Amino acid sequence: MNLLITNARVLDPSQELDATLDLLIEDGTVSKLDKKIKAPAGVAVIDASGLVATPGFIDLHTHLREPGQEHKETIATGTRAAVAGGYTAVCAMANTVPPNDERAVTEMVVAEAARNGWCRVYPIGAVSKGLKGEELAELADLRAAGCVAVSDDGKPVYNAQLMRRALEYCTMLGIPVVAHEEDANLVEGGVMHEGYYSTLLGMRGIPAASEETLVARDVILAKLTNAHVHIAHLSTEGAVDAVRRARKDGVKVTCEVTPHHIALGDDSVQSFSTNLKMNPPLRSEMHRQAIIEGIADGTIDAIATDHAPHHFDEKNVEFDLAPFGVIGLETAFAVCYDRLVLEKVIGLSRLIELLSCGPARIFNLPGGTLKKGSLGDVTLIDLEARHQVARDSHSKAANTPFLGETFVGRVVTTIVGGAIKYDLRTAPAAQAPKTQRKKK
Ligand SMILES: [Zn+2]
């Protein structure tokens, strides 16, 4: 696909670039970046005056729910939400039904994404067969079929020996193991962060230690095996600290945080909204500040959404009974721009690094750069646009914790391989409100 983007403020941290330029994409890849580019015959032109052009966002942690839970989300609807949020690629978690623990499932995801996906989809395979934590999945087979990482996300790998073997195999395969860190014995039926507000509200708490004990173990195992472990959705002070120390020690550990853990604390659970129930839970202000510090000092490598759609009926129950998880693809940029850039924690360039270049580096994916010859994946952002989060998500689900909040800064166009996959100006409306939708 060919496309010329003119007059954009091109912001590309991978080449320390921040200048008003034209950008030409030919045959799906960036062919030229210059002050004034004359449109070759027959090439479509987008005037991006007043907009910022960045390498397309890459989400390391998306639950697309297909196969098996298409009432929550599908590859088509999830990737539609992704492009509406500026994502040109998402990594699809393995905890589908059946889980992505064998080649046939990976191939199904890849094929469906090619048919009906709006952006690139990189599957993540399971660590263990059936996500049971007992026996390793056929990791080499998963890798050969297209998996870019492995994870039993939703559950930790309890067996340290199995984790060690996974790390060793994945080193040979050149992919990371993504760790969901949570000791269920310590969680023991908890539904929110254990602290002042869980006591106040009389709800069972999930201690920070449930996460920190396993993070500590896995950086030790990464050191032992000299393998790459990537810690998913890190949420506590102790976890940030463990990663920081291990990194100094030369351990190959990377980590991600979610926009909701950046933006919200456990005090917000006082509303009892089930859209504030996720795993790991929203933590106390001390932990939230530790995450923000980790972002500022470079300990945290990426922002990942942990987009976890649920059907309206599933979330429309008491807090105790609701499933964990919130959606996040469409609001990630605005939330992080608001809480991190407008509040002067980091600059815009560092935010783009966390949303695009960092993720590409961690999973060794193409993209995350606008250098000549790289993928023509571009996100156009209007930093002045105000937008109120409504129930009009492109996702099948509407379980956002940011409903009704107004943000400044919005993705307006998403380009994948030179093709416009989302444009707010031509396709503003999403689906009808979801509250009345019937269960399939
Ligand atoms: Zn997880």
287: CA distance to ligand 1 center in Å? 18
CA of 306 from ligand 1 middle (Å) equals 7
Active-site annotation holds for 249 = no
**Separation of 233 CA from ligand 1 center, angstroms?**
7
Q: Ligand 1 being an ion, which residues bring their Cβ within 5 A of it?
A: 153, 180, 232
Residue 160 CA to ligand 1 centre (angstroms): 18
376 vs 298: CA distance, rounded Å? 27
Reduced to 3 states (helix: H, G, I; strand: E, B; else coil), residue 329 is coil
State phi, psi for 25 to the nearest 5 degrees: -110, 125
Q: Residue 49 Cα, ligand 1 centroid: separation in angstroms?
A: 39
Cα 96 to ligand 1 centre (Å)? 13
Q: Give the distance (Å) from ligand 1 centre to CA of residue 133.
A: 15
Spacing, Cα 263 to ligand 1 middle (Å): 18
Give 423 Cα–ligand 1 centroid separation in angstroms. Answer: 31
DSSP 412: E
Which member of 12, 59, 306, 338 is catalytic?
306
Residue 9: strand pairing partners? 20, 52
Q: What is the pLDDT of residue 432?
A: 42
List the pLDDT tens digit at each of the 440 positions of the chain: 899 999 999 999 999 999 999 999 999 999 999 999 999 999 999 999 999 999 999 999 999 999 999 999 999 999 999 999 999 999 999 999 999 999 999 999 999 999 999 999 999 999 999 999 999 999 999 999 999 999 999 999 999 999 999 999 999 999 999 999 999 999 999 999 999 999 999 999 999 999 999 999 999 999 999 999 999 999 999 999 999 999 999 999 999 999 999 999 999 999 999 999 999 999 999 999 999 999 999 999 999 999 999 999 999 999 999 999 999 999 999 999 999 999 999 999 999 999 999 999 999 999 999 999 999 999 999 999 999 998 888 999 999 999 999 999 999 999 999 999 999 987 655 544 444 444 43
**What phi, psi does 344 have (nearest 5°)?**
60, 30
Distance 61 CA to ligand 1 centre (A): 8
394-427 as b/e: b if 16+ CB within 10 A: bbbbbbbbbeeeebebbbbbbbbbbbbbbebeee
For residue 370, the number of C-alpha atoms closer than 13 Å in the C-beta half-sphere is: 35
Q: In which element (H, E) is residue 218 found?
A: helix 208-225
**pTM, 2 dp:** 0.96
Q: 3-class SS at 243?
A: helix
DSSP 338: I
**How many angstroms does the Cα of residue 310 sit away from the middle of ligand 1?**
15
Name 288's Cβ contacts closer than 8 Å, sequence gap at least 6.
Answer: 261, 262, 264, 265
Q: From ligand 1's centre to the CA of 131, what distance in Å? A: 13
Residue 430 has what pLDDT? Answer: 53
Amino acid at 439: K
Q: What is the whole-number distance in angstroms between the Cα of residue 165 and the centre of ligand 1?
A: 20
How many angstroms is it from 31 CA to the middle of ligand 1?
Answer: 38
Whether the upstream peptide bond of residue 67 has omega within 30° of 0, thus cis, is yes
Instruction: Give the distance (Å) from ligand 1 centre to CA of residue 153.
Output: 4
